[in-house]
Amino acid sequence: MSVPGGNTVLTAADIARALTRIAHEILERNHGPEGLCVLGIPTRGVNLGHRLAALLAQIEPGLDTHQISGQLDVTMYRDDLHRPSAGTRPLAATKLPAGGIDGKTVVLVDDVLYSGRTIRAALDALADLGRPAAVRLAVLVDRGHRELPIRADHVGKNLPTSRSERVSVLLSETDGRDAVVISPEPAAPGGPERAEGGEPR
Amino acid sequence: MKHLLSTKDLSRDEAVGILDTAAHMAETQAREIKKLPALRGRTVVNLFYEDSTRTRNSFETAEKRLSADVINFSAKGSSVSKGESLKDTVETIGAMGIDAIVVRHSASGAAHRIAHSDWTDATVINAGDGTHQHPTQALLDAYTLRRHLMGPDPLGQDLAGVGVAIVGDVLHSRVARSNVDLLTTLGAHVTLVAPPTLLPIGVETWQCGVSYDFDRTLAEGGLDAVMMLRVQAERMSAAGGGYFPSANEYSREYGLDSARLSRLPAGVLVMHPGPMNRGLEITSVVADSAQSVIVEQVANGVAIRMAVLYLTLTGGQGGAL
């Protein structure tokens, strides 16, 4: 993905440092590794979730990355499925760690927190899958402009933006390199930021 | 995708998109809570002018799993038996403010007529029209084939190189027509096997092979699945209706029994759209054998119909899949 005319606000090293800090924060807040479960929201939240789970396993050698990480597709729980402008959203897979989420501390992971509507959908999706002991939210970028009473527990970077700007999270798994870029033009309709909860709806 | 009327209308990518969506839907159906909120507040009418148990129940299950409100309308016991026309029925239903009509009708083209009329703005999903098309059946057949034949991770794949024989009453079969169109679009090779009397005029122009000799087709090999069609006695005049000399002879020439099955490799799938005439086109031993995926076809039908409802009823109508 190329981002013409964009300002890089987080480099690869910044992203790595932020994720490491968030991993430590998660363990501190949870008083250790017990009952943790990391669920990424497709697409880029999944990659970030896997990275966070790997970092957690690095800090706490007792943890197995594969046993604590998964992904949560929230598409069918969104509140804009019937908006004529939205287009039909493709579904993604939901994969829970073996043993499910009952009684676990679930850490939801997404790339950008914006309107909060994706997270609202994620909370509804979780409720249909089990009853976690607690749900926390970790995001790489919080760009403000919330439309719902939702906040993140762990934030990589607070990034004040205007609604007309576009925040692009690039990850090596999907985009070939790690960076967070802010550019002046709004996201194209149906673009990736929109699909991943970057745009207000 | 606003309507689903015929598998002929689907491109390869659209068809693969439906199969992928169905795979994600199937995954949700293994959960304890199977209901999803995607179609909450939407109303779907199942408008059935022909008898059906599995298709109607399958659609109704899919609609309810996606939280749609469901109205069942069957011609028996309705104003249709008092002579109401299709137009009046559709306009009456449409006036109730519904979002989709799932229609089965004995007239070929009925679904197309409703979709392209000014009788209603609702989405139309064809659940079988005469001897024309039954697209969701073909999609669930393609889904079943892909699940078994295209490796552990079939997402995104078509059916390139798969060989399928469709055997029996092709003349009256909308399932055969839909499957020839869809499986060919997905890259599979289809061979129709039937007595000449049960093949439609013009079959040589279809994108498939045609054989009168079941045993020779089996001996030629290259098959990954054998799909048996129901002998549709209700569409024939008398028993057999002159299409074949006797049920016994049909069964001997075109039935799938254990002797024929034993000549096929162990991995070849046995399929049937149902309802089966056990002992006529398929023996009970074969229908209940380990190679039979007939019961699984029904389960996959729910996932396919959930996918079709989701793709036609969410987002901008007429938008991309």
pLDDT value for B239: 57
According to DSSP, residue B182 is labeled H
pLDDT value for A196: 41
Residue type, B34: K
The nearest alpha carbon in chain A to B99 belongs to A82
Rounded CA separation B313/B123 (Å):
7
Q: With contact defined as beta carbons under 8 Å apart, do B123 and B100 qualify?
A: yes
More confident residue, B149 or B75: B149
Is A76 in contact with B310 (Cβ distance < 8 A)?
yes
Query: Is residue A188 over pLDDT 70?
Result: no
Residue B2 domain flag: no
Query: Is residue A4 over pLDDT 70?
Result: no
Alpha helices in B107-236 (DSSP H): 110-115, 135-149, 174-185, 214-220
More confident residue, B255 or B243: B255
Lowest-confidence pick of A86-95, A115-124, B5-14, B179-188: A86-95
Cβ density class B67-78: b for 16+ within 10 Å, e for less? ebebeebbbeee
Is residue B218 located within the same domain as residue B150? yes
pLDDT value for B321: 39
Lowest-confidence pick of A47-51, B74-78, B205-209: B74-78
Query: Is residue B51 over pLDDT 70?
Result: yes
- Taken in order B251, B209, B232, B186, the sign of the CA dihedral is positive
Q: Residue B38 is nearest to which of A81, A83, A86, comparing CB atoms?
A: A81
Residue B318 domain flag: no
Residue B128 domain flag: yes
Q: Residue B316 is nearest to which of A75, A85, A92, comparing CB atoms?
A: A85
Q: What is the CATH number of the domain that holds B309?
A: 3.40.50.1370
To the nearest whole Å, the CA of B32 is away from the closest chain A CA by 8
B98: left (phi over 0), alpha (psi -120 to 50) or beta: beta
Rounded CA separation A118/A110 (Å):
9
Lowest-confidence pick of B77-86, B252-261, B302-311: B77-86
pLDDT band at A194 (very low <50, low <70, confident <90, very high): very low
Strand partners, A134: A105
Q: Of the candidates B130, B147, B128, which has an alpha carbon nearest to the alpha carbon of residue B138?
A: B128
Partner B contacted by A133 (CB < 8 A) = no
Q: What does pLDDT average to over chain B?
A: 93
Q: Find chain A residues with C-beta within 8 A of B66's C-beta.
A: 76
Q: Of the candidates B79, B279, B242, B267, which has an alpha carbon nearest to the alpha carbon of residue B163?
A: B267
pLDDT value for B280: 93
Alpha helices in chain A (DSSP H): 12-29, 44-59, 65-68, 117-129, 172-175, 192-195
pTM: 0.92
To the nearest whole Å, the CA of A129 is away from the closest chain B CA by 7
Query: Is residue B53 over pLDDT 90?
Result: no
pLDDT value for A148: 97
Give the whole-number percent of chain B exceeding pLDDT 70. 96
Residue B81 domain flag: yes
Is residue B272 located within the same domain as residue B306? no
Is residue B77 located within the same domain as residue B207? no
Query: Is residue A186 over pLDDT 90?
Result: no
pLDDT value for A84: 76
To the nearest whole Å, the CA of A21 is away from the closest chain B CA by 34
Is A92 in contact with B24 (Cβ distance < 8 A)?
yes
Is residue B103 located within the same domain as residue B175? no
Interface test with A, best of B14, B18, B20, B28 (most A CBs within 10 A): B28
pLDDT band at B252 (very low <50, low <70, confident <90, very high): very high
Q: Of the candidates B114, B129, B122, B118, which has an alpha carbon nearest to the alpha carbon of residue B7?
A: B129
Is A90 in contact with B20 (Cβ distance < 8 A)?
yes
The Cβ of residue B292 has, within 10 Å, a number of other Cβ atoms equal to 20
Residue B176 domain flag: yes
* Residue B72 lies in domain: 7-134+299-313
Please write the tens of the pLDDT for every residue from B92-144.
998 999 999 999 999 999 999 999 999 999 999 999 999 999 999 999 999 99
Partner A contacted by B17 (CB < 8 A) = yes
Please write the tens of the pLDDT for every residue from A133-185.
999 999 999 999 999 999 999 999 999 999 999 999 999 999 999 999 999 87
Is residue B107 located within the same domain as residue B51? yes
Interface test with B, best of A77, A78, A82, A101 (most B CBs within 10 A): A82
Is B36 in contact with A92 (Cβ distance < 8 A)?
no
Q: Find chain B residues with C-beta within 8 A of A92's C-beta.
A: 24
Residue type, B306: M
Is residue B123 located within the same domain as residue B182? no
Q: Residue B21 is nearest to which of A86, A91, A128, comparing CB atoms?
A: A91
Query: Is residue B147 over pLDDT 60?
Result: yes
pLDDT value for B74: 85
Is residue B226 located within the same domain as residue B187? yes
Is residue B175 located within the same domain as residue B291? yes
Set out the domains of chain A in order of their start, with CATH numbers.
12-162 (3.40.50.2020)
Is residue B142 located within the same domain as residue B275? yes
Is residue B186 located within the same domain as residue B228? yes
Q: First vs last Cα of chain B: how many Å apart?
A: 6
Q: Of the candidates B296, B269, B20, which has an alpha carbon nearest to the alpha carbon of residue B158?
A: B20
Is residue B264 located within the same domain as residue B274? yes
Rounded CA separation A53/A45 (Å):
12
Is A89 in contact with B28 (Cβ distance < 8 A)?
no
The nearest alpha carbon in chain B to A88 belongs to B315
Residue B321 domain flag: no
Lowest-confidence pick of B7-21, B185-199, B233-247: B233-247
Strands B163-167 and B225-228: what pairing?
A: parallel
Q: Of the candidates B320, B9, B310, which has an alpha carbon nearest to the alpha carbon of residue B185?
A: B9
Q: Find chain B residues with C-beta within 8 A of A81's C-beta.
A: 38, 314-315
Residue B320 domain flag: no
Give the whole-number percent of chain A exceeding pLDDT 90. 83
Rounded CA separation B278/B286 (Å):
10
Residues 6+ apart with CB under 8 A from A29: A136, A153, A154
ipTM of model? 0.87
Is residue B143 located within the same domain as residue B283? yes
In the A/B pair of chains, how many CB contacts fall below 8 A?
A: 62
If one counts the domains in chain B, the total is: 2
Give the whole-number percent of chain B exceeding pLDDT 90. 84
Please write the tens of the pLDDT for every residue from B20-48.
999 999 999 999 999 999 999 999 999 99
pLDDT band at B320 (very low <50, low <70, confident <90, very high): very low
